[in-house]
Amino acid sequence: MRNQGEVSGARDLLRDDVVWHTLSGDVHGVERVLAMLAQSDEIASGTILREVHALFANDEYGMVLVTVRAERQGRRFEDRQVHVYRFRDGRIAEFWLFPGDRQANEEFWAL
């Protein structure tokens, strides 16, 4: 799990052919995923925080129950989510986001 400002360190965790399944579509490749993560950090002006409640994992999959908080132009965002990771060769090959409130996510993160 990463919080705001930790995009550069995420590179070592991701496979070059990573697929990030977002609410607005799939993002393919490590460079595009890192750019998308950096854009999220920029949108929230450095306020993204993730509170991990539980973590379940084996060699192939990981699941995190998390509350994500952020602020944007005076608006506060908080959502309980499930993040699912698929690993291959010890790195993240795929990621799925399951938000608690899809509409609130889409509204807050929209450009």
| pLDDT score of 6 | 54
58: number of CA atoms within 13 Å, CB side? 2
Burial of 50-80, coded b for 16+ CB within 10 Å and e otherwise, reads beeeeeeeeeeebbbebebebbeeeeebebe
Minimum mean pLDDT range among 4-8, 60-64, 92-96: 4-8
| pLDDT score of 10 | 87
- 16-109 belongs to CATH 3.40.50.1000: no
Tens digit of each residue's pLDDT (9 = 90 or more) over 43-75: 999 899 999 999 999 999 999 999 999 999 999
Q: How confident is the model at residue 1 (pLDDT cuts 50, 70, 90)?
A: very low
